Chain A
Amino acid sequence: MTGLQELRDRDSMEYIKKKLKLVDSWTLIGLLATLFVACIFFSTQSEYFFTTRNFINISRAISIRGILAVSVTMLLISGSLDLSLAAVAAAASMATASLMISGYSDIQSFAGGILVGAILGAINGVIVVKFRIPPIIATLGTLLTFRGLGYVFSGGDSIVIGAQTWAYLGRGTSPFLNLPVSFLVFISILSFFWVLLNYSVVGNYIYSIGSDPDPCRYVGINVDKIRFTLFVFSAVIAAFGGLILLSQGGTAQPRALQGAELDIIAAVLLGGVNLRGGKGSLVGTFLGMCIIGVINNGTILLNVPAYWQMVFRGSILIIAVTLDSFRKGGGYR
């Protein structure tokens, strides 16, 4: 037979591939450049910005949202989304605090909070995977439900567990470089899932399902099981973030992380994750979180009014979504 040997590189695929690789590299280089420019700008405007103490503050400030961003990144890459993760984190911290003041041990209370996270993640998973409800609608509903239940449960009040409980987790610093423990936890979680996404079989399936679930089903991959498990894992990670938040302040609040969802999604999109799934990296998410953390910190140091900070954050979200649209080569039609 003549076979397919006559298929030639007529479309100059190597060239296109190299160009695309360059674009991917530019996403990360662009993020680093943006971060650098933001740091330079704020350094010239505030003498407090470029100090070790301030960078430790920034790293502490982005830790919890960063942990949630790991979950959001994995879900977006898989073609899903969970808007309720911040509410899950708040609910987990409420549950843990309630158990602690009811007399349960630290470990039991901690496990209880994680279990609440897993259950709430499973609820999201069932709604999306079994009832086939689009994730954005399903988790918008559960966002309101979980948040509302937190208020109902507490009557709108905070639950105080004391400033010393698990203080090392929330407010401790490492002997090495004096970095916040919460930041190291964030980096550890991010590193673990970076390895999982890039080198494991499951990571390959997460990217593939996000790109197109049908081919995965056709070769026998259990798409629903992976999606459900991702919802549960993401919520467990978010719950862990909620417990670090609890240990930072010593109180559990039903309104904790309210509105953080948009900041987190903005950082993830800014980091190059494709809103339609199948593309993105946790390195990009980390840089996106750093950019938002630096801008938030810088605007506070410059005494920018809170309302203007909202304008900045909204603008970042618009820029992130616009970049995502450009990357896909299209937009709203």
Chain B
Amino acid sequence: MTIHLKNISKSFGNVVALKDVSISLNSSEVLGLLGDNGAGKSTLIKVLSGIHQKDTGSIMFDDKEVTIEDPRKSQALGVATVYQDLSLVELRNVSQNIFLGLEPRKARFFINKQQMDSDAKDLLKKLQINIPSVRSQVENLSGGQRQSIAIARAIARGGDTILLDEPTAALGVEQTSQVHGLLRELKDAGKTVVVISHDIKEVLNIVDRVVVLRQGTVAGEGYSKDLNQGTIVDWITGVER
């Protein structure tokens, strides 16, 4: 599945967050989305995940134009998102978080808790995520464990495209490398992955292609093997050398 975002613009009152942004997400690639604070990275992710609606522009899934009016539509199109603040429900357990909105049911209205716990265990095992119990409340988990649950939840949606907003911002060195390993596994599984990050070095290590946003517009893009940190810094800051 190839996703094309064409001339996307989005404003909040007088503040222009995105202005004619055009980006393509190719199948089975890891794309790094870079930029300074306020560059429009998170807004772009939220447009694609249905949290915000674009003002103008078009979104094409395999050359078919789609309208993403809410998160449910985005999920139906195979897009799953891990937000910067993780967006986990602190007072619910691991299973309930992974399957929030997708709960296995019995008799239509009731949750099949046994199946939900069993499916959560299977998913965590498959992803090699070590959590003491799927009945653990999220508020009691460490930062790395929470990030893992957030990623597992995105994968549980069954989508082909995973969007991750600053997936390692709150993590230590070891936990960061573990998340990088998980991202590589997603790529190997044929998923399209978009990673937002401030960390240029990190991005160059894990992504295939880089797009840099500055003040709501695309400042530069290229394959990571052809880029170095200096070039990306120039795109981010707007400095011509």
Q: Is the CB of A208 within 8 A of B130?
A: no
A1-42 vs B, CB cutoff 8 Å, 1 = contact: the mask equals: 111111111110110110010000000000000000000000
B161 CB to nearest chain A CB (Å): 15
Q: How far is the CA of A75 from the CA of B142 in the complex (A)?
A: 30
Give the residue name and chain of the B residue nearest to A208 (CB): B89
Residue from A4, A17, A217 having most chain B Cβ neighbours under 10 A: A4
Given A202-B109, A219-B75, the answer on whether A7 and B81 have CB atoms closer than 8 Å is no
B100 at the interface (CB under 8 A from A): yes
Give the total of B residues in contact with A, Cβ under 8 Å. Answer: 54
16 further A-B pairs in the complex, CB-CB below 8 A; given A1-B182, A4-B144, A220-B75: A3-B129, A4-B182, A5-B128, A7-B175, A20-B140, A199-B111, A204-B111, A208-B96, A210-B91, A215-B88, A215-B89, A215-B97, A218-B83, A219-B153, A221-B100, A274-B91
Given A10-B142, A211-B90, the answer on whether A20 and B182 have CB atoms closer than 8 Å is no
Chain A residues with CB under 8 Å of chain B are 1-11, 13-14, 16-17, 20, 199-202, 204, 207-208, 210-212, 214-221, 274, 278-279
Q: How far is the CA of A160 from the CA of B145 in the complex (A)?
A: 63
- Of the residues A2, A5, A16, A210, contact of B177 by C-beta under 8 Å: A2
Q: Is the CB of A6 within 8 A of B91?
A: no
- Of the residues B71, B83, B105, B178, contact of A2 by C-beta under 8 Å: B178
Q: Which residues of A contact B21 (CB under 8 A)?
A: none
Q: How far is the CA of A14 from the CA of B135 in the complex (A)?
A: 10
B136 at the interface (CB under 8 A from A): yes
B225 at the interface (CB under 8 A from A): no
Residue from B101, B141, B174 having most chain A Cβ neighbours under 10 A: B101
Q: Is the CB of B132 within 8 A of A201?
A: no
Q: How far is the CA of A207 from the CA of B130 in the complex (A)?
A: 26
Q: Is the CB of A14 within 8 A of B133?
A: yes
Q: Identify 18 residue pairs between A and B in the complex whose beta-carbon atoms are under 8 Å apart, listed by A's number.
A: A1-B184, A3-B185, A5-B129, A8-B130, A10-B142, A13-B133, A13-B145, A14-B133, A17-B135, A199-B110, A204-B111, A208-B100, A215-B87, A215-B88, A216-B101, A218-B71, A274-B91, A278-B92
